[in-house]
């Protein structure tokens, strides 16, 4: 159900797809549903805020971020997760140049945090975001892949892992909502994870970049569970991004928050090697985290597309509406064959699930039966793509 592997076995799913489809012409005008790049309109406040702060492009930005940025993020976290123990903006928040660099580089500091471990382990869900594997590689760690929990959700069950593996673990990557499945960790899930992390003293890297893309109920968060445990925010970092929440993938701005001791050490490294976030970009982030109306509109657009998927694909393609995120995770028997067929016959470009996963020790790949469809285009384009998919796969 789990087993070791090397980070070097992971590769870009998009490069792999390009190789697989090379020389195969699109059957119709192409529609790209591969990359999770939001295509909804950029919020109207972005350009005016950048213009107002344009002079800041003439300065090196502080790597720890502006006081206003950290304060806004801390207040948003307190408000969003109703935290009784408030987030300290001086010690518990740092800006990121997009969450990807933070997720990858954090593993290096997790390794430095536990130098006594000779053969460190990083725990990954399977499938996973490729930046997690990059982090494990940077840290020189062995990857241990986690299968889904026993309750048919894609939330890993750490109770199925041996104490020997957990004792060598330096970090666990876990996303909620999960990507691509779209399952949401409950407070009970987060609590069990944090209790295990503290027992064995490893870091939990909670990827919450899809936290504001949900159907009905806001997903609980890792900080929320730590707050309810009542013993501070040790052993946990949460990673957030404006790419999905605010339709700003090109802004390259997010944040990390949590364990103040870890962040203090990580800050020393980041002050030398990490990319800074420009001042005007931080100003846009402040405006974004102070406004929820554009986020609500964003969710409504995704929900409309999921309603269209249910109506167009019908029962034969088993299009489950996930709790969160913006992917369809379709069970099609052979995801690679389906992706090739959709491109060749309908011009719809999708990602085979196996390209987002690594093989288990027995050689099987949990993503093989699946196809990932990014619901990121506008409603009309999405409806057209879904109609073509229903014709080809139905």
> Is 89 found in the same domain as 55?
yes
Residue 260's domain comprises 46-289
Buried b (16+ CB within 10 A) or exposed e, 325-337: bbbbbbebebbbe
Q: Is the CB of residue 387 less than 8 Å from the CB of residue 369? A: no
Structure tokens at 119: 């053969």
How many distinct structural domains can be found in the chain?
2
Please give the average per-residue pLDDT across 223-227, as a whole number.
Answer: 98
> Is 122 found in the same domain as 103?
yes
Check residue 340 and give its pLDDT. 98
Decide which of 257, 289, 321 is a domain's last residue. 289
1 in a structural domain: no
2 in a structural domain: no
| 372 CB-side CA count, 13 A | 29
Decide which of 267, 289, 311 is a domain's last residue. 289
Check residue 3 and give its pLDDT. 53
- Per DSSP bridges, beta strands 327-331 and 348-349 are unpaired
> Is 124 found in the same domain as 15?
no
Q: What is the mean pLDDT of the chain?
A: 95
Cα–Cα nearest to 221, from 235, 234, 239, 203 = 239
- Per DSSP bridges, beta strands 351-352 and 370-374 are antiparallel
Is the pLDDT at 282 greater than 60, yes or no?
Answer: yes
16 in a structural domain: yes
> Is 344 found in the same domain as 248?
no
331 in a structural domain: yes
In the three-class reduction of DSSP (H, G, I as helix; E, B as strand; rest coil), residue 266 is classed as helix
Is the pLDDT at 6 greater than 90, yes or no?
Answer: no
pTM value is: 0.96
Check residue 1 and give its pLDDT. 39
Alpha-carbon distances of 349 from 16, 249, 279, 324, 376, rounded to whole Å: 13, 20, 37, 22, 13
Is the pLDDT at 10 greater than 80, yes or no?
Answer: no
* Beta carbons within 10 angstroms of residue 44's beta carbon: 8
């Amino acid at each position: 159900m789990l087993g070791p592997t090397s980070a070097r076995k992971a590769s870009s799913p998009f490069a792999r797809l390009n190789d697989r489809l090379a020389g195969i012409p699109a059957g119709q005008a192409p529609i790209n549903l591969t990359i999770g790049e939001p295509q909804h309109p950029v919020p109207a406040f972005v350009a005016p805020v950048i213009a107002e702060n344009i002079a800041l492009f003439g300065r090196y930005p502080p790597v720890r971020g502006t006081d206003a940025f950290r304060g806004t993020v801390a207040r948003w976290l307190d408000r969003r997760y109703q935290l009784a123990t408030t987030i300290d903006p001086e010690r518990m928040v740092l800006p990121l140049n997009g969450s990807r660099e933070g997720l990858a580089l954090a593993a290096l500091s997790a390794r430095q945090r536990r130098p006594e471990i000779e053969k460190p382990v990083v725990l990954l869900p399977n499938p996973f975001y490729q930046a997690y594997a990059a982090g494990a590689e940077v840290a020189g760690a062995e990857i241990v892949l986690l299968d889904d929990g026993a309750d048919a959700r894609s939330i890993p069950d750490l109770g199925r892992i041996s104490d020997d593996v957990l004792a060598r673990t330096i970090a666990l990557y876990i996303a909620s909502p999960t990507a691509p499945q779209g399952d949401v960790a409950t407070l009970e899930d987060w609590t069990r994870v944090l209790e295990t992390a503290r027992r064995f003293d490893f870091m939990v890297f909670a990827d919450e970049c899809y936290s504001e893309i949900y159907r009905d109920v806001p997903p609980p968060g890792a900080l929320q569970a730590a707050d309810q445990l009542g013993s501070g925010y040790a052993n946990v970092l949460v990673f957030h991004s404006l790419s999905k929440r605010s339709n700003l993938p090109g802004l390259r701005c997010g944040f990390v928050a949590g364990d103040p001791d870890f962040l203090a050490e990580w800050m020393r490294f980041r002050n030398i090697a990490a990319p800074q976030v420009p001042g005007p970009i931080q100003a846009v982030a402040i405006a974004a985290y102070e406004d929820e109306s554009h986020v609500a509109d964003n969710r409504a657009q995704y929900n409309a597309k999921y309603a269209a998927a249910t109506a167009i694909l019908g029962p034969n393609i088993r299009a489950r509406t996930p709790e969160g995120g913006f992917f369809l995770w379709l069970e099609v028997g052979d995801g690679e064959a389906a992706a090739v067929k959709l491109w060749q016959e309908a011009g719809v470009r999708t990602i085979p699930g196996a390209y987002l996963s690594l093989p288990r020790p027995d050689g099987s790949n949990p993503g093989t039966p699946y196809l990932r469809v990014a619901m990121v285009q506008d409603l009309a384009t999405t409806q057209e793509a879904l109609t073509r998919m229903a014709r080809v796969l139905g």
